[in-house]
C-alpha cells in the first residue's frame, strides 16, 4: 500500500517509521518541553526493519517512564513502529500501512505545532 506513495527507495516503510520515531518525535517533544526525552530518542538505533521496530517499542516506554515525555507522542511513535511490524505479517499490508501513516501524520502535526516549518517537515519526510 505504501509503494504508490513513492517509487523512491528513500521513502520505504522502514525509513518512514525511522523518520517518525527519530526525527519527528524529538521535534514534537522539544516543542512540548521534553528535551531530555528528545535527546534520548535521537540516540535510538535507526529503524531499519521489523526487528529494530520491535526493540524500539520497549525503549520508548522506558524513555517515557524516565522522563517528562508526553504519553500521546510516545504512543504515536510506538504506533509507527507497530505499523512497520504489521506490514511484515501475512495479510498485514493494509492495516500496517494505515497504522504507519496515521502515526506519521500525528507526529508531523505535533512537530508542525512545535514550530517546524512546513517546508522543513516535507524535506525531513522526503529524506
Residue 7 has a pLDDT of 55
For residue 80, give the H/E element and its range: helix 71-87
Count of C-beta atoms within a 10 Å radius of residue 124: 16
Q: Is residue 3 part of a domain?
A: no
Quick: pLDDT tens for 6-51: 555 567 899 999 999 999 999 999 999 999 999 999 999 999 999 9
Please give the distance of CA 82 from its chain centroid, rounded to a whole number: 10
Residue 5 has a pLDDT of 47
Q: Is residue 22 part of a domain?
A: yes
**Per-residue pLDDT at 52 exceeds 90:** yes
Mean pLDDT for the stretch of residues 47-65:
94
Q: Provide φ and ψ at 21, rounded to 5°.
A: -75, -50
DSSP state of 1: -
Domain count, the chain: 1
What residues make up the domain containing 94?
Answer: 9-126
Q: Is residue 1 part of a domain?
A: no
Residue 127 has a pLDDT of 73
Q: Is residue 2 part of a domain?
A: no
Amino acid at each position: 500500500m505504501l509503494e504508490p506513495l513513492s517509487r523512491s527507495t528513500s521513502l520505504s516503510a522502514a525509513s518512514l517509521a525511522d523518520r517518525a520515531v527519530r526525527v519527528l518525535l524529538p521535534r514534537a517533544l522539544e516543542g512540548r518541553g521534553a528535551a531530555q526525552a528528545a535527546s534520548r530518542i535521537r540516540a535510538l538505533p535507526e529503524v531499519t526493519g521489523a526487528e529494530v521496530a520491535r526493540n524500539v517499542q520497549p525503549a520508548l516506554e522506558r524513555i517515557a517512564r524516565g522522563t517528562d515525555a508526553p504519553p500521546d507522542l510516545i504512543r504515536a511513535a510506538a504506533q509507527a513502529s507497530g505499523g512497520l511490524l504489521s506490514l511484515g505479517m501475512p495479510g498485514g499490508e493494509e492495516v500496517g500501512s494505515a497504522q504507519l501513516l496515521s502515526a506519521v501524520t500525528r507526529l508531523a502535526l505535533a512537530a508542525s505545532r512545535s514550530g517546524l516549518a512546513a517546508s522543513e517537515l516535507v524535506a525531513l519526510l522526503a529524506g
